[in-house]
Structure 1
Amino acid sequence: FSKAYGMAGNRCGYVIGPAEAVTELRKIGMHSFYSTPTASQIAALRVLDGPGDAWVAHARGIYKTVGDRVAARLGLEGPAGSTFLFFDVAEHLDETGLGGFLERCVDRGLFLAPGPSFGPYPTHVRLCFTAAPPDVVERGVEALAELLGR
């Protein structure tokens, strides 16, 4: 639900698979979380009743436009279906490393995810271009472009 219907943070989903695998996943799940919040379950049921498809159709075009504009402004390849850009900032790091770069971003009101959170990417950052309204994202990208000298 987080990606398909923009419900990140609701912590609600489902699994479809072979019966044996689902049985094992249930065992793990019983020790991993207590339960999905009721409000999240109700929201998930609601989007599955049809309104979610209309939202997806509406959001898809907006996200495509914003993602392409953000990528172009930063001189990056456009996203291929995701709501993130993941890119290397190695040439913009100083002795403070990625942490220092991210602090400089925060000083400008930008919150990027550090690449190491997603694997062996010590000089990368992830930018979510759907976390705020398009005009806010574009203002933030202008600040980032300035920081990157672009």
Structure 2
Amino acid sequence: MRLSTVLKDMPGSEVIRDAEITGIAYDSRTVSRGHAFFAIPGLKDDGRRYIPHALSRGASAVVTNLGGAFRETGALGVPEETGLAVVKDPRRALSSAASCYYGYPSRALTVIGITGTKGKTTTCHLIRSVLEACGQKTGLIGTVHN
């Protein structure tokens, strides 16, 4: 899949150099050959500092934003033969790109939310039991068991 394809739904993204990608990573330690590396600035550390490590592990593209010590694309240290995209919000771009890359899995899910003051846990388990009795796969996420 192309970098430009996974970023097509991301407003404000600029694909400077397109590349074929074989996966998506935001942790340079998990990058494999052909992955797009999303360098995300954080509160304690800046993912852009790990671009060289991601490239050494075989990243075929880098997606990040500009700012701070990285005001221009040249400061990122991404070689000319490597794909590069600049986005306004790398965290949001990662979410959008992963959804596209993996075939929009959330579109196949039905989500039921339960709110209120009393009876939420009971209601969750009743709905889950009914759906499972009908042969549906279910998942339960929340603070029910805490």
TM range (shorter): under 0.3
Instruction: Please identify the structure whose Cα radius of gyration is greater.
Output: 2
Say which structure, 1 or 2, has more relative contact order (CA 8 Å, 6+ apart): 2
TM-score, normalized by length of structure 2?
Answer: 0.24
Which structure features the higher share of strand residues? 2
TM-score by length of 1: 0.24
Q: Larger helix proportion, structure 1 or 2?
A: 1
